[in-house]
Structure 1
Amino acid sequence: MSTLRKFATPLTIATFTIVGVTGVLWYFHVITSAGRWMHEIIGLAMVVVVALHVVLNWRAFKTYFKRPLAIGIIVLGVVLTVGAYLVPDQTQARGGPPQFAAFSKFADESLATLGPIFDTTGEILVTRLEDAGYTGATPASTVEDIAGSNTRAQMEAFSAMAADGSGTGGQGVGAARN
């Protein structure tokens, strides 16, 4: 057990440093894929290391249960953690993960309105959608009219509208077609 005790605190400090620094970088959107990987994997390792640290230092840890301030801080941490999972997930309420937000925001706009986004007109978007297998579209149609309320199906319709006429856009639309 003395070998474990020798490594428990340095491992706790090292994993906290990695998770803390990568977490701050991620918050400010200055992170690489290696940084994300380290944050997630080392974060999992940190849970094990902290648990080991608590077990090895249990006597000292027990003294905190005699202090009202320490108990209050621990309870606050538990309440915040549990509370975060009791609050409804706002990303799901908006129609899915945040990276899909733009699709759901534009899904109820007409093709004529969306034309300038694709540097074209609503009529050309209708043609692109028809080439991709969508039927019944008009410049007044919305993406939701064409693809339904499923965000992934809407993304596929947007992909078809972005097609450059090479015949490759909109492939794999499958079930989203009318």
Structure 2
Amino acid sequence: MSVQNTLALRRWATPLTIVTSVLVGISGVMMFFHLGEGLIKGMHEWIGLLMVAAVVTHIVVHVKPFKRHFSQRAALSVMFAVLLVSASLLDFGGGGSPMMAVIHSVEGAPITSLAELQQVSTQVLIDKLAAAGFTTVSEEMSLNHIAEQSQVHPKELIGIVFSE
């Protein structure tokens, strides 16, 4: 590839990589927390495909620095860790990912069990939830029950219960 072509690609590949990464990141977080899923799902998928093209072009433009990362122990460690976490989230047998199974167990467990898991009193968790506006909570209720009653997603409650 000529220097002139590389410079032309660089002018649009890096900004395109930046903007598509930000959009896919924001929409991915929104989808994770079930915020406007119907509104953003299509955009997330199409911008994701555009992001793949932008990243591939960015790699082509920066091939030497890209290759260098595969000879650095720290970079390889980070890549391996991300691949390992990603593999743990895959659903190989149709039974769901192990990580999602843990999350669903936490969402379905009574407050007493979550308190035991965190090694705090049940009242500490009830107080955390009350401080966040969830006042009709009993120790035998699950996060799923509280979320349904309050019309919020259980993941929002996980963030409250497991906050410091």
TM-score by length of 2: 0.49
Identify, as 1 or 2, the structure richer in helix: 2
Larger radius of gyration, structure 1 or 2?
A: 1
More RCO (CA 8 Å, sep 6+): 2
